Amino acid sequence: MKVKLKIRKYDSKQDTLPMYTSYAVDAPETATLLDCLDTVKWHQDATLTYRRNCKNSICGSCAMNVNGHPVLACETHVKKELAISKRDELVIEPLGNMPVIRDLVVDMGPFWDALLAVEPWLQPDESKVPEKEYRQSKAEVRMLEKVSGCIMCGACFGACNGREAEEKFLGPAALARAWRYTMDSRDAKQKERVAMYNEPHGTWDCTHCFFCVEVCPVHVAPMDQILKLRKMAMDDGLTDNPGARHHIGFEKSIEKSGWLDEVKLPVVSIGLDVLEQLRMVPLGLRLLVKGKMPHIRHAPIEKISEVQDIYASLLKEAQQKKAQAREARP
Amino acid sequence: MKQLKFAYFPGCVSKGACKELYDSTAIVARLLGIELVELKNASCCGAGVIEEKNQKLADSLNARNLAMAESMGLPMLTHCSTCQGVFSKANKKLKENPDYRATINNIIGHDGYSYQGTTDVRHLLWVLAQDVGVDELKRRVVRPLKGLKLTAFYGCYLLRPSSTMKFENPHYPTSMEDIFTALGAEPIFYPGRLKCCGFPISMMNREASFRMAGGNLLEAKGLGADAMVTPCPLCHLNLDSRQPEVAGFLKQKIDLPVLHLSQLVALALGASPKELKMERHIVDTTPFLHKLGL
């Protein structure tokens, strides 16, 4: 099988601009992308630079972009990728959101900085040190297993649309790990952690693009963990921020009318930030002039009582659960 | 073409800040002979926001919506990437977990609803690309979009996660571009077509949201696009309604018209720009229409 690779080449020490170089590789039908890169390096261009180690989807070294999306080169079957892409060549580039050192090797510094910022280590209650070791039940371990399995390849970080637009955003891998420590039964800082991750450029900078979920080679589903942290923050009463106000206002809007009140929600979400409210005025005027402004009188759907019955039923259920929990307490 | 009939879920935005989408979808349906029975008493899908805070509430609201379509014996039609993504996820969960479905049915049962898990939910894009088919669309074109260069903007929820969204590969979708070609236009492929428009964080981090929208718009514009086309009204809000602010923030001229998929298809099928409320767009669509001799 002939495989055409177009590889982005760039040496940060001497090049001003990257160049794309094409290579044709003779490869067996079962070849992975890493096999092809090795062939290029060993037989055609010894300068080609990339990271590799285990060849087994464990070390996370060989994450890179293929036709724009991150993969592990060692588990990407070239024949299959070509078939899915319906193209005759693969464009190979380094991961995004990190500076390139050389060719396909990026400086993972920003990734590690974000990871360290979430304090990814256990912080148990020092006053309750057990006599032997800290123990966890099987269920407690199992709950964390998937997220703990992160191989820190940087694929999610490289694909993160939120990080691309906001370099202070902690990003998917760090926040997934943040959830993992928040939920660890041996950790005593749950409330502090939830509050810390709720700060600007924490969980609320996630734009819900699902890229991290899609590209993670070990199915950590970072976005799902980020959304869990947001919920925990709201449940803890940390609601004085635009994200939480938006979510609470959204839920209330549907309870009131069955559908979203697009005029009111932005006002509610922004809250008391006068400057930010003023910034919305030109948008409102433009919508008004063009006849796009939703009606100021937001009429409910005819059968709104049915929607409200659902809300009431779930509220009752939540109250009963709370009462049961109170009774169960010694 | 087989007779197509759907329980139509218009969603909040097409009845609010993007009414031109509501009108355009009705026109596309009429021109293609697709029968739409609107679910007037459906609630909002929750847009992924309600489920974050209260999963059971979101699933109950959507089970009620799905049960309405099911009782009519019809598949549901959406024309919003977000509504579609939310429904696909909720529907998968309700179909695959009979116990959970029973729990949810218990909640919506107070008002006589029960969802048996037999309804399929389809986005207009999928219906056009698959049920109508690009060949049939091509046959129906009366105003070929010749000379137009178009860029797609899919909307995250319509593509990802692929464990739920199975219509096409999330990294290599072509349904939008296939439709552009069928209508006589030239598609331009660019990385931004798969990315986020920035709308979900417009309230939380406005500047980042603008950078996302602006990056995608400028990329498309730089490749010579005459317009961007989206199957998601939420993307439309950030890419069109906020485009002047985005341009101001980035200190760059953009002026790229953003069309709803329904508008584009209806134009090629002969509808007038006036019917499609093209004048309602924030970014002027006249240079685009001039290229079509309109």
Q: The domain B133-290: what is its CATH number?
A: 3.40.50.11810
Helix (H), strand (E), coil (C) string for B192-246: HHHCCCCHHHCCCCHHHHHHHHHHHHHHHHHCCCCEEEECCHHHHHHHHHCHHHH
- Quick: pLDDT tens for A76-87: 999 999 999 999
- Between CA A36 and CA A25 the distance in angstroms is 7
Residues of A in contact with B160 (CB under 8 A): 209-211, 213-214
- Interchain CB distance below 8 Å, A205 and B204: yes
Could you state, in order of their start, the residue ranges of all structural domains in chain B? 4-122, 133-290
- Interchain CB distance below 8 Å, A309 and B172: no
Buried b (16+ CB within 10 A) or exposed e, A290-312: eebbbeeebeebebbebbebbbe
**B196, B232, B242: best to mutate for the A interface, most A CBs within 10 A:** B196
Chain A with chain B: Cβ pairs closer than 8 A: 189
Q: Tokens 């199915």 map to which residue?
A: A219
Q: What is the ipTM of this complex?
A: 0.96
- Between CA B36 and CA B227 the distance in angstroms is 28
Phi, psi at A259, each rounded to 5° = -145, 170
| Nearest chain B Cα distance for residue A135, angstroms | 31
Average pLDDT of chain A is 96
Residues of A in contact with B203 (CB under 8 A): 242-243, 246, 266, 269-270
Of the CA atoms within 13 Å of residue A55, those in its CB half-sphere come to 8
Pick the CATH number of B4-122 from 1.20.1050.140, 3.30.420.40, 2.30.30.110, 1.10.10.60: 1.20.1050.140
Question: Is A272:B68 a contact under the CB 8 Å cutoff?
Answer: no
Is pTM beyond 0.90? Reply is yes
- Quick: pLDDT tens for A172-223: 999 999 999 999 999 999 999 999 999 999 999 999 999 999 999 999 999 9
DSSP state, residue A92: E
Give the model's confidence band at A330: pLDDT under 50 very low, under 70 low, under 90 confident, else very high. low
Give the model's confidence band at A129: pLDDT under 50 very low, under 70 low, under 90 confident, else very high. confident
Residue B183, both tokens:
């209508």
Residue A95, both tokens:
């991961």
Query: Beta strands A63-66 and A69-72: pairing type?
Result: antiparallel
Give the number of other CB atoms < 10 A from CB of residue A83.
10
Query: In angstroms, what is the C-alpha Rg of chain B?
Result: 19
Q: A67: which residues sit within 8 A by CB, 6+ positions away?
A: A81, A85, A87, A90, A91, B171, B172
- Between CA A234 and CA B195 the distance in angstroms is 28
- Between CA B251 and CA B208 the distance in angstroms is 15
Strand ranges in A28-187 using DSSP code E only, listed in sequence order:
63-66, 69-72, 89-93, 100-102, 105-106
In this predicted structure, the answer to whether residue A329 has a pLDDT above a threshold of 80 is no
Question: Is A52:A29 a contact under the CB 8 Å cutoff?
Answer: no
Q: Tokens 């729990």 map to which residue?
A: B103
| Nearest chain A Cα distance for residue B234, angstroms | 11
Average pLDDT over residues B48-59: 97
* Residue in B52, B157, B195 nearest the CB of A161: B195
- Between CA A146 and CA A136 the distance in angstroms is 16
Residue of chain B whose Cα is closest to the Cα of A86:
B172
